[in-house]
Structures are given as C-alpha cells and as structure tokens.
Amino acid sequence: MKLLIIEDQTELQNIMKQSLEKENYIIEIASDYVSGMDKCFSYDYDCILLDIMLPDGSGIDLLRELKKNKDKTPIIIISAKDSLEDKVEGLNLGADDYMTKPFHLTELHARIKAAIRRRSQDGTNSIVWNNVELLPSERYVAVDGVELLLNRKEFDLLYYFMTNPNRLINKTSIAEYVWGDYTDQADSLDFIYSQIKNLRKKLKDANAELDLQSVYGIGYKMS
C-alpha cells in the first residue's frame, strides 16, 4: 500500500517514513502545500497523512479541495493544534481521523490500518474471503454459512489477517495489534505460534478456503 505524508518537519517526516516502511508501506513525502496538492491530484494513495500548518498554505484548505473533487482517499490529520474547533472542522470536512502531535508510532499504525479498513469495506459490515465471512461488530465468523466459534484472540487474529490479505505481516505487528501493551511483558513472541496453530486447526476443520502461511523467521501471510 502507498501512503503520502504531507508534513514540513523533516525529522518527523523521517521518523514516520522509516517506521511505516518497516510495515511494508510505500511512502512518498511532500513538504508543503503546493507539492502536496500536486501529488494528491497526480497519483493514487491508500491513505494521506496531512499536517494542518504548512509553510505555504493550510492543510485544511488542501483537505477542502480534495473533498470538492470527490476524492475518497482516507485522510488522517496530524497536527500540533489540539483545539476542539480544529478537530471538528477537519472531521466535518471529511477527514477520517485527527491525531495531535506528539503521538506514538504504534497508534499511528493502528489509525492508518483502521482508516484503510473502513474505506475498503465501503460502508459494509461484512468482510468476505472465499467461503469465510466475518462480521466485526457482531464478532461473528461463518464458513459456508455455518458459524465458526472462536475465542477472543482467535477472532482478533482472523480479523487482522482478513483486513490485510496477501500481505506479509511480521510477528511484532501481530502481537501489538492483538495483545497491545501486554506484548512488552512477554519474554518472546512464541505465544503467537500457538494461537495461530489453534486458529488454523479450527479453519481447517470447518473446510475454510483460507490459508495462514508461515514465512520462516518473519511472520505470516493470509491467502
């Protein structure tokens, strides 16, 4: 997936770029309003990270122009301005999310994935892969229309894989998404293997047309 970062602070640009590239995103950078506008209208992106205060214009104005042109790219505002008025204005104009600087990179990753996921679902509640259907809000999974009973962690794992199909996901990302802050307390990430092993068995027993492939030394990929 390709992301555009529109941000004039070089240090923050580099930190975000390096962190997101580790998650296998393709990252492009714009440092001002003009170059940001040019890239937005010249190329397609899966998500745009947009600063409000740019040296030659306002990110809010850029957002307004994008929405005038019916652009449906998920947009997350990242700003040092944390006033309620700014947040309300940005969200009312069509931004998908609003993050106030400084922020944790793990939270940024989660917000990006959520924004992309919401847009990819196109407003529908159901996620389908071959004969497997998952309903996030009901925490319901079915294979060929028959309910598949999963525990909380198994469901969260399957949800994560089904919203990132055909993407190689490293063990750290899986642990942070499903187990959150508790990951820091673990001596190793071996517990992921046992959870995925159990999930695989349940999917196989239900004849699910979904495969969780192990990539040695790196992580897993759903296909």
pLDDT tens digit at each of 223 positions of the chain: 789 999 999 999 999 999 998 888 889 999 999 999 999 988 888 899 999 889 998 999 999 999 888 888 899 999 887 667 778 888 888 888 888 888 888 889 888 888 887 776 555 567 889 999 988 767 889 999 999 999 988 988 898 888 888 888 888 778 777 666 444 544 556 778 888 999 999 999 999 999 999 888 788 999 8
What pLDDT, on a 0 to 100 scale, did the predictor assign at position 107? 86
What pLDDT, on a 0 to 100 scale, did the predictor assign at position 63? 92
What the block records as the tokens of 171 is: 């063990």
What pLDDT, on a 0 to 100 scale, did the predictor assign at position 125? 60
Instruction: Look up tokens 């198994």; give the residue.
Output: 154
- In the chain, domain spans: 2-121, 127-222
Which top CATH class is 127-222? Answer: mainly alpha
What pLDDT, on a 0 to 100 scale, did the predictor assign at position 181? 47
What pLDDT, on a 0 to 100 scale, did the predictor assign at position 199? 94
Q: How is residue 223 annotated by DSSP? A: -
What pLDDT, on a 0 to 100 scale, did the predictor assign at position 217? 78
Residue 122 neighbours by CB under 8 Å, 6+ apart: none
Which top CATH class is 2-121? Answer: alpha beta
Residue 48, phi then psi, degrees to nearest 5: -120, 130
Among candidate residues 113, 78, 86, 82, the one with its CA nearest the CA of residue 5: 78
